[in-house]
Amino acid sequence: MKVWSLVDKIYFYYSRLEYVNQAERNIFRVKLLTYRGKELLLSNGISIQTKDTLLKIHLHNCLLMNEMLHMENETKRALYVYKRVEESMPGLVDFIRNHPQGETIKGIIGITVLHRGVSRLGFEVKDIENGYYKKLKQLYMKPLFILCHLNKQQGWKEKNLVPKFLIMSKEQLLSRYLQDA
């Protein structure tokens, strides 16, 4: 865990991530990006195209892993991650609404191997078309996934480590998670 914490700090620094709201222990860290892929058509009709501004979301994996150290049951761990993500979504709304470029942000995007059940949170799951990028993400996520499953009865399977895009339009995010002030 200590090694991963060090790697996480280095990654955080060099990837120019920002905390959404560290005081509220929001599980997301984010950065703006210019989308550079094929068009993504979302179910609500929004089209994400090359050069659109998106907010890339990253789970704070070290924080999550520390919070779940005592949990042995994989189902409880999955439900815990789901709950933490759900609780943190309103923070993304506040971040976008208060960001100087908030008006230009078209949606949020993330990459994960944990994509089961995310549609209940409002995300759409899209395949990563670029094979090289997909493999690179898989290589990055594999050690983290193995670390999360050390000494567990239920092992991980390589075939389950398929990274996918999670994407949600800003309109969808606001309609689901905007809280009354």
Calculate what percentage of the chain has a pLDDT beyond 70: 81
What tokens were used for 149?
A: 């499953």
Residues 58-83 have pLDDT tens digits of 988 777 888 888 888 888 888 999 99
Least confident of 7-11, 20-24, 35-39, 50-54: 7-11
Structural domain spans, the chain: 2-177
pTM: 0.83
Residues 80-117 have pLDDT tens digits of 999 999 999 999 999 999 999 999 999 999 988 878 88
